[in-house]
Structure formats: structure tokens, C-alpha cells
């Protein structure tokens, strides 16, 4: 992702003046990440996802409780709110190194998802889909490989949490090979991968004891009730 800067002509002055502060870009990204798609989808169905399934406001719990169609829309929304700030804001930032601001805007969107201001900083998701969106924008091939690892793991085990952690390991590994080793993008992907695994620490405990809910279980139990 590269942006080449050239001396501005008089005709470009208005465009330069219209560029936004990087810090405003961070705020916009955080607010975008804070949109609680899972919460809104649940409320539209008369369900507070914080009280059902895993209690997490993420795409996985939305799929588990609301079904694949609505949960898929939540996943799409959570992905786009990470991807769009990282892709659309950097060209309009009044500053240098837009590729680094792209990473920063993506991280701000992830923080917004995990600690959404619209829910008073509580009850967010674990950042997996939003982080995936960021890296689909910045490193599409590694992100696609990580997503494939997620899908294969979930298909084989029905554990979305395990799939998320597999993806969290695959992503920085693939970025290392496809994007030239120890780049800023690689280092950030490592940090985000560690963060995602840390956010799943309770899931790790349940996986070890065999009590982790599987994808589809809540919906089937509800239908049988």
C-alpha cells in the first residue's frame, strides 16, 4: 500500500486544505468500530445477545443465537467497519506515512469493537471479524489464508473460538512471508494475534474442560425446546 506525494499545484490547494487530521481519522475509526452490529441485530429480533449464548457481542455469538443469515450480516458489518477506515481514510490524512496511519486506523476500529462507546465501553466483541477486515484491506492474501484456516478449523471441530485462535497465529505468519519479514504490518499483526488469543482466555479454559459451546448448538437447542 503506497501513496506517492508530489508538490501541490495551486489547483490542489483546496484538496490539501480539505485533508483531515490523523487524530480525527483515529476518532472516526474508533466510532466506526464502536457500531455494535451484533447488539443491534439482536435487539431487532427481541434478543439481548449479552444474555444469550456466550454473552459476547460478536459475529460468532450472533450466528450461534440468531442463525447464520443474521449472523452472517453481523459478520459482514463487523468486517467492513475494520476494513473501510483502513482503506478509505489514509489518502485523506494530512500527514506522512499513510501506510502507518492505515494500520493505526485499523487498530482504532478494533478498539472500538472491543470497547464500544455506544455501549459505554462495555459488552463489545473480541475483535476477530473487525481485525480480519483490517487485514483484508491491508494484506488480502495472508488474510484470506487465515480465514481459510478459520473455516477449516470450525468445519472440523465446530469450535469458533479455536478457529479464531488458529487464524490469529496464521495471519502474522503469512504476513511475514508475503510482506517482506519484519515490517510494521507484521509486528502489528503479531500484537493483534496475541490480543485475540488473550481475549479468548476463557474459551481456552472451556476447551480444556470440554464445556466450550459449539457453533449451531444454541439454535438447535432452541428449536428442540
Please indicate, yes or no, if residue 148 is contained in any of the structural domains: yes
- d(CA 168, CA 156) in angstroms, rounded, equals 17
CA torsion sign for 188, 177, 88, 150 is negative
Give residue-wise pLDDT tens across range 32-45. Answer: 999 999 999 999 99
Please indicate, yes or no, if residue 167 is contained in any of the structural domains: yes
- d(CA 45, CA 28) in angstroms, rounded, equals 28
Please indicate, yes or no, if residue 27 is contained in any of the structural domains: yes
Task: Check pLDDT > 90 for residue 53.
Answer: no
Q: Determine contact, residues 43/90, Cβ cutoff 8 Å.
A: no
pTM of the predicted model as reported, rounded to 2 decimal places: 0.83
Residue 54 C-alpha from the chain's centroid: 18
Mean pLDDT computed over 6-25 = 62
Please indicate, yes or no, if residue 9 is contained in any of the structural domains: no
Please indicate, yes or no, if residue 209 is contained in any of the structural domains: yes
> Angle at Cα 208 formed by Cα 203 and Cα 210, nearest 5°?
90
pLDDT of residue 18: 56
Give the model's confidence band at 220: pLDDT under 50 very low, under 70 low, under 90 confident, else very high: very low
pLDDT of residue 16: 45
pLDDT of residue 216: 66
Task: Check pLDDT > 90 for residue 152.
Answer: yes
- d(CA 124, CA 154) in angstroms, rounded, equals 22
Task: Check pLDDT > 50 for residue 6.
Answer: no
Name 93's bridge partners. 20
Please indicate, yes or no, if residue 126 is contained in any of the structural domains: yes
- Residue with the bigger pLDDT between 8 and 115: it is 115
pLDDT of residue 23: 92
- d(CA 69, CA 63) in angstroms, rounded, equals 8
Mean pLDDT computed over 125-148 = 95
Please indicate, yes or no, if residue 13 is contained in any of the structural domains: no
Give residue-wise pLDDT tens across range 118-135. Answer: 998 777 889 999 999 999
First to last CA, the chain: 51
Please indicate, yes or no, if residue 222 is contained in any of the structural domains: no
pLDDT of residue 1: 41
Question: Residues 87, 90, 92, 97: what is their CA dihedral angle, to the nearest 10 degrees?
Answer: -150
pLDDT of residue 60: 87
- Quote the number of domains for the chain: 1
Give the model's confidence band at 4: pLDDT under 50 very low, under 70 low, under 90 confident, else very high: very low
Report which DSSP code applies to 11: G
The whole domain housing 127 covers 20-217
Task: Check pLDDT > 70 for residue 219.
Answer: no
Give residue-wise pLDDT tens across range 174-214. Answer: 999 999 888 999 999 999 999 999 999 999 999 999 998 88
Give residue-wise pLDDT tens across range 76-116. Answer: 999 999 999 999 999 998 878 888 999 999 999 999 999 99
pLDDT of residue 3: 35
Amino acid at each position: 500500500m503506497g501513496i506517492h506525494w508530489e508538490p501541490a499545484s495551486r489547483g490542489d490547494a483546496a484538496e490539501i486544505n480539505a485533508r483531515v487530521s490523523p487524530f480525527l481519522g483515529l476518532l472516526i475509526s474508533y466510532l466506526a468500530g464502536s457500531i455494535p452490529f451484533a447488539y443491534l441485530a439482536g435487539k431487532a429480533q427481541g434478543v439481548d445477545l449479552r444474555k444469550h449464548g456466550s454473552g459476547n457481542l460478536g459475529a460468532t455469538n450472533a450466528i450461534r443465537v440468531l442463525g447464520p443469515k443474521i449472523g452472517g450480516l453481523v459478520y459482514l458489518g463487523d468486517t467492513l467497519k475494520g476494513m473501510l477506515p483502513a482503506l478509505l481514510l489514509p489518502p485523506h490524512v494530512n500527514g506522512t506515512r499513510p501506510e502507518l496511519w492505515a494500520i493505526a486506523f485499523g487498530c482504532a476500529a478494533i478498539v472500538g469493537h472491543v470497547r464500544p462507546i455506544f455501549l459505554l465501553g462495555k459488552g463489545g466483541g473480541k475483535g476477530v471479524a473487525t481485525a480480519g477486515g483490517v487485514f483484508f484491506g491491508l494484506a488480502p492474501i495472508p488474510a484470506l489464508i487465515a480465514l481459510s484456516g478459520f473455516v477449516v478449523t470450525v468445519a472440523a471441530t465446530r469450535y469458533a473460538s479455536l478457529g479464531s485462535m488458529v487464524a490469529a497465529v496464521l495471519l502474522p505468519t503469512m504476513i511475514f512471508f508475503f510482506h517482506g519479514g519484519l515490517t510494521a504490518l507484521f509486528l502489528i499483526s503479531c500484537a493483534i494475534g496475541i490480543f485475540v488469543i488473550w481475549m479468548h482466555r476463557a474459551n481456552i479454559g472451556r476447551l480444556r474442560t470440554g464445556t466450550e459451546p459449539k457453533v449451531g448448538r444454541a439454535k438447535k437447542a432452541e428449536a428442540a425446546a
